[in-house]
């Protein structure tokens, strides 16, 4: 009996000493497990007389229930202490200013492309994306560009091999659409194009939006009406515009469009356009005696630079947040 009382006191002391749930579990196994100390006492009762066996069984079971109760109470106490410590550690001062969530925005090039596309959507144009890796036929041959044209040289164009290249304009999609669709056709072709250029006004990769209309009785007057209204939409009604004769292998007649600075009277070229060459229509199995077509090409970077008064095209690709944050609310 003395040994039992001593054991019960030791168990209570050990329970109080534990500071973690893991230590408490170890105490429980030590005394109440299958090979625990108290379990061994119970096993040894078989050697006692029936009277002593009954007497000590009752005492041990009572103490065992008391120990289990103490363990549960101490486990609850430890859980509360752990939670309280965690709450103190993770305490938040609600009076402190909150962390700002900096929202991003569309890149100015994307904003300009969307702005341009919205205008042409109102005229019933369909926007079509296309291949950036193209073959020589769709990028040059079908567009009536001669074999000796400078644009085919490696110092102007990124070639993969003798046939494949990074497209130099989105006109390749004009050819593909005219081959696959029947007139009437009214599409714009936005996307990236690639040329060997890098300075304050040129980058090796830039963006174009080209437009194409194929139908009966399409004339240069239709083209001029579209260009005028687009530029008024983009720059405002006060902008002065002039059409200047030019040459492109895939259009005839061809023109470049300039806007005129009212103060200095200087002109700035902003896009090229023209009536699609009959040879191009023949190449895509469209009869030029029945159908006519007009096309135009817009340099998105140049339009964006004019719209936001940006002087170095390379600013668009420097990933400078100070520059890009200016366009959050445009």
CA 233 to chain CA centroid, Å, is 29
How many Å apart are CA 29 and CA 246, to the nearest integer? 95
Tens digits of per-residue pLDDT, 86-100?
888 877 777 777 777
Q: What is the pLDDT of residue 330?
A: 62
Q: Give the ranges where 45-150 is alpha helix by DSSP (H).
A: 50-89, 108-122, 136-139
For residues 157 and 197, the model is more confident at 157
Per residue in 35-89, pLDDT tens? Answer: 777 777 777 777 777 777 777 777 778 878 888 888 888 888 888 888 888 888 8
Model confidence pTM above 0.75:
no
- DSSP one-letter code for 96: S
Cα(38)–Cα(256) distance, rounded to whole angstroms? Answer: 101
Average pLDDT, the chain: 87
Q: Pick the residue with more confidence: 61 or 180?
A: 180
Q: Do the Cβ atoms of 102 and 205 come closer than 8 Å?
A: no
> Is pLDDT of 248 > 80?
yes
Q: Is the pLDDT of residue 266 over 90?
A: no
Among positive and negative, which fits the CA dihedral 312, 313, 315, 318?
negative
**Angstrom distance (rounded) from CA 42 to CA 45:** 5
CATH homologous superfamily for the domain 108-327? Bira Bifunctional Protein; Domain 2 (3.30.930.10)
Q: How far is CA 225 from CA 219, 222, 230, 270, in A?
A: 10, 5, 8, 16
| Tokens describing residue 250 | 């895939």
Q: Name the strand (E) or helix (H) holding 28.
A: helix 21-32
pLDDT, average across residues 9-30: 84
Strands of the chain, DSSP E: 126-127, 133-135, 164-166, 185-194, 205-215, 240-248, 251-260, 267-276, 292-299
H/E stretch holding 264: none
Per-residue pLDDT band at 329 (split at 50, 70, 90): low
- The predicted model gives 240-264 an average pLDDT of 89
Quote the pLDDT of residue 311: 86
């Amino acid at each position: 009996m003395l040994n039992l009382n001593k054991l019960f006191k030791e168990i209570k002391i050990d329970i109080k000493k534990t500071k973690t749930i893991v230590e408490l579990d170890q105490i429980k196994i030590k005394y109440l497990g299958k090979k625990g100390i108290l379990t061994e006492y119970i096993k040894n009762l078989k050697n006692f007389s029936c009277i002593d066996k009954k007497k000590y069984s009752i005492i041990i079971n009572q103490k065992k229930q008391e120990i289990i109760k103490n363990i549960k109470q101490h486990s609850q106490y430890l859980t509360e202490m752990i939670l309280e410590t965690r709450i103190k550690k993770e305490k938040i001062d609600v009076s402190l200013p909150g962390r700002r969530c900096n929202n991003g925005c569309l890149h100015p090039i994307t904003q300009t492309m969307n702005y341009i596309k919205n205008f042409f959507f109102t005229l019933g144009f369909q926007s079509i994306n296309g291949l950036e890796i193209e073959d020589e036929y769709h990028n040059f041959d079908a567009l009536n560009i001669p074999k000796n044209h400078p644009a085919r040289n490696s110092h102007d164009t990124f070639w993969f091999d003798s046939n494949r290249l990074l497209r130099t304009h989105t006109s390749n999609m004009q050819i593909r659409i005219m081959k696959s669709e029947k007139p009437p056709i009214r599409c714009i072709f936005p996307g990236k194009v690639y040329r060997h250029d890098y300075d304050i006004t040129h980058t090796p990769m830039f963006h174009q939006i080209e437009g194409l209309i194929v139908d009966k009785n399409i004339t240069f007057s239709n083209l001029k009406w579209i260009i005028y209204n687009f530029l008024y939409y983009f720059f405002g009604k006060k902008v002065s515009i002039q059409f200047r004769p030019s040459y492109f292998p895939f259009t005839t007649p061809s023109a470049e469009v300039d806007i005129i600075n009212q103060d200095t009277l200087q002109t700035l070229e902003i896009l090229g356009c023209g009536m699609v060459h009959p040879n191009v229509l023949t190449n895509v199995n469209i009869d030029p005696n029945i159908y006519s077509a007009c096309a135009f090409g817009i340099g998105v970077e140049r339009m964006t630079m004019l719209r936001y008064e940006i002087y170095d095209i390379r600013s668009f690709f420097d990933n400078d947040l100070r520059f890009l944050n200016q366009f959050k609310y445009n």
